[in-house]
A and B are shown apart, each in its own frame.
Chain A
């Protein structure tokens, strides 16, 4: 699919829609308005960067979309499901099958090998024992970690750990990849490596990507749309022509 046309075709189906979404929580006497009335739509197949300074509410918004947190008010509708109305059980199923998450601090379970870490969502999904190992190996192979299956996270570099967590995020073939500062703990070279994987998932698998970052340059380089947050409010939303160019440039190189 030519990447230039992508931008227009994406608008066809709305995958995520928030309506006046709020997430407030008390801290001492004060009320923290982490997310304060955000209405935004994300189409299927988009690569969106959530930008803002720390405390701007970008991670809180991501957690609401991830179904890890529940809104104080407003709606967050993903594929026509209002997450606020789902039961805890249904929300867990949503996290299991619909979204994959990647974190700044990788969040692999240290007591498990990479293979076991990647296999874990398959256990929750009650995939047969026999199939699990093959699927997990395939996912790790995709991120170039075939040689590290039996290693524990602590025995690996940050880049390798983040690749493993990408493999884990992909294992249940979700439609959405939610990444919270995925390169925040990495040097620029390994950061680029990870970002290239994420872009690849967006382009070849058609995954919708929402990435939280505070690095504008990173967003400009990879994302096609940038949403700016400040104090829990939406302060800017622009598509990113540069990103499309960068993708094309990269495509030309390959």
Chain B
């Protein structure tokens, strides 16, 4: 029998005992639905975590610290490589060298300092950080109000949301609705604030504060360079308010005010590492506490890390830290998938039951078909097609049902989040491969369930089947 005829006959046979076959199909649908709902939630949660991490811009970032630095990220490394005293200094030439490594987009120093901000006469003590101009394209600034810095050295700042709230005297109260970024930005954009900071100025004796290259003689100079610290003030314009999470893992994000990195460098603000340089083997060129390296793609992070380690620096990347997180989600997905599959297994027993019942009921019909010339293959194919048709219907209905269940759970979660005064989150996601995969899975499971009944029907002896009254 031709495949199309087979499918057509299968559909009409299924319609004959519509109630039983619909119930069986509903069974498959529920199985598929639970599979889709569970996996879509698993994937959604994974994506949520991924988005959170991505927002922090960590996956393509390597943080480089000097081994001279006592607070290296990875203390184990210090046991292997050169001893801290012998290891290279993390300064401008080292930064340039790193920036030229293959697959490195940029390398910039992490400049951060505490300064006193005056806004409308009131002082605020806060952490400031230099922000590279390339951060303009960062996802982290998606929800930003206002604009990014107009140039690399513009005397402009971007405020972190909570600091903006502080400036406006809007301290978040428990239970109160959190003010939106737009609300906070409105009265602040374009306003001026004054920053008071400590400038590191070279003493006239050395006079080489701007030297771009290192003079080895000077680094080894046991006397060390001399410099003085002068208190300065700068007036800065507020151009933006952003929604960066202050507790995020990313370096800059911990700061409350961002200013252009070049500007921060030009101001020669006193850095914590400067002090260490004076006690250690410092040079006239200021050393950086950390250099952040942006890699073209997360897959190249490891290679870049290795290259930088060879240069004698300590490195740290979040790829190491997220490995365990990804593992957790893989296990979560596996378990959710297993529970979903269990439901589908129950459904497949339903198919077997329905088809075996159908054989008993249609014994005579099978006998007739064989008597008038149906081959074993025709009978087998017919029952197989019936299982397949139930699988197709069950798959489609199940995906729709699972999608709806996932959506309802998502909606419920967001209602709950809203009551707890959290922003809404998409915790549910149905990728196209899950839709196709679930439908395919339903069909495969149905066909497998149809195998036994179909071959049983095919083996039926027509003489006995026809004698049966």
User: CA separation between A103 and B463, bound complex, in Å?
Assistant: 12
Interface pair A101/B371, CB less than 8 Å apart? yes
Say how far B17's CB is from chain A's closest CB, in angstroms.
9
User: CA separation between A179 and B374, bound complex, in Å?
Assistant: 19
Known: A123-B5, A123-B9. A68 touches B463 (CB 8 A): yes
User: CA separation between A111 and B1, bound complex, in Å?
Assistant: 19
Give the interface segment out of B84-92, B362-370, B430-438: B362-370
Interface pair A63/B463, CB less than 8 Å apart? yes
User: CA separation between A2 and B367, bound complex, in Å?
Assistant: 40
Which B residues are CB-close (under 8 A) to A169? Answer: 372
Interface pair B463/A69, CB less than 8 Å apart? yes
Known: A92-B370, A120-B369, A168-B372. A105 touches B1 (CB 8 A): no
Interface pair B370/A68, CB less than 8 Å apart? yes
Say how far B389's CB is from chain A's closest CB, in angstroms.
16
| Interface residue from A100, A108, A111, A124 paired with B378 (Cβ < 8 Å) | A124
Interface pair B368/A95, CB less than 8 Å apart? no
Tally of A interface residues using CB under 8 Å: 30
Which B residues are CB-close (under 8 A) to A101? Answer: 371-372
Which B residues are CB-close (under 8 A) to A120? Answer: 369, 372
Say how far A22's CB is from chain B's closest CB, in angstroms.
15
Known: A105-B469, A109-B365. A95 touches B372 (CB 8 A): yes
Which B residues are CB-close (under 8 A) to A92? Answer: 370, 373-376, 378
Residue A96, interface by CB 8 Å: yes
Say how far B28's CB is from chain A's closest CB, in angstroms.
23
Which A residues are CB-close (under 8 A) to B9? Answer: 123
Interface pair A121/B463, CB less than 8 Å apart? no
Residue A172, interface by CB 8 Å: yes
Instruction: Using CB atoms, name the residue of chain B closest to A120.
Output: B372
Instruction: Using CB atoms, name the residue of chain B closest to A174.
Output: B373
User: CA separation between A96 and B368, bound complex, in Å?
Assistant: 12
Which B residues are CB-close (under 8 A) to A121? Answer: 372-373
Q: What is the interface of chain B mostly: helix, strand, loop, or mixed?
A: helix
| Interface residue from B13, B364, B368, B375 paired with A93 (Cβ < 8 Å) | B375
| Interface residue from B4, B16, B370 paired with A111 (Cβ < 8 Å) | B16
Which B residues are CB-close (under 8 A) to A107? Answer: 364, 367-368, 371, 466
Which B residues are CB-close (under 8 A) to A80? Answer: none
Residue B462, interface by CB 8 Å: yes
Interface pair B372/A103, CB less than 8 Å apart? no
Residue A10, interface by CB 8 Å: no
User: CA separation between A131 and B377, bound complex, in Å?
Assistant: 23
Interface residues of B in 173-194 (CB under 8 A from A): none
Interface pair B462/A68, CB less than 8 Å apart? yes
User: CA separation between A101 and B5, bound complex, in Å?
Assistant: 23
Residue B323, interface by CB 8 Å: no
Which A residues are CB-close (under 8 A) to B419? Answer: none
Encode A118-142 as 1/0 by CB contact (under 8 A) with B.
0011011110010000000000000
Residue A225, interface by CB 8 Å: no
Which B residues are CB-close (under 8 A) to A216? Answer: none
Encode A67-82 as 1/0 by CB contact (under 8 A) with B.
0110000000000000
Instruction: Using CB atoms, name the residue of chain A closest to B379.
Output: A92
Which A residues are CB-close (under 8 A) to B5? Answer: 123, 126, 129
Instruction: Using CB atoms, name the residue of chain B closest to A89.
Output: B375
Residue A211, interface by CB 8 Å: no
| Interface residue from A103, A109, A124 paired with B373 (Cβ < 8 Å) | A124
Which B residues are CB-close (under 8 A) to A124? Answer: 1, 369, 372-375, 378
Interface pair A111/B13, CB less than 8 Å apart? yes
Which A residues are CB-close (under 8 A) to B1? Answer: 123-124, 126
Interface pair B368/A109, CB less than 8 Å apart? yes
Interface pair A89/B2, CB less than 8 Å apart? no
Which B residues are CB-close (under 8 A) to A66? Answer: 371
Residue A85, interface by CB 8 Å: no
Say how far A71's CB is from chain B's closest CB, in angstroms.
12
Residue A151, interface by CB 8 Å: no
Known: A88-B376, A105-B469, A111-B13. A68 touches B371 (CB 8 A): yes
Say how far A107's CB is from chain B's closest CB, in angstroms.
5
Which A residues are CB-close (under 8 A) to B469? Answer: 105
Encode B368-398 as 1/0 by CB contact (under 8 A) with A.
1111111111100000000000000000000
Instruction: Using CB atoms, name the residue of chain B closest to A128.
Output: B2
Residue A175, interface by CB 8 Å: no
Which B residues are CB-close (under 8 A) to A168? Answer: 372
Which B residues are CB-close (under 8 A) to A96? Answer: 372-375
User: CA separation between A105 and B4, bound complex, in Å?
Assistant: 30
Which A residues are CB-close (under 8 A) to B370? Answer: 68, 92, 95
6 extra interface residue pairs, beta carbon distance < 8 Å, beyond A68-B466, A92-B375, A96-B375:
A88-B376, A89-B376, A92-B376, A103-B466, A111-B365, A124-B1
What are 7 A-B interface contacts by the 8 Å CB criterion? A68-B371, A68-B462, A92-B374, A97-B373, A107-B368, A121-B373, A124-B369
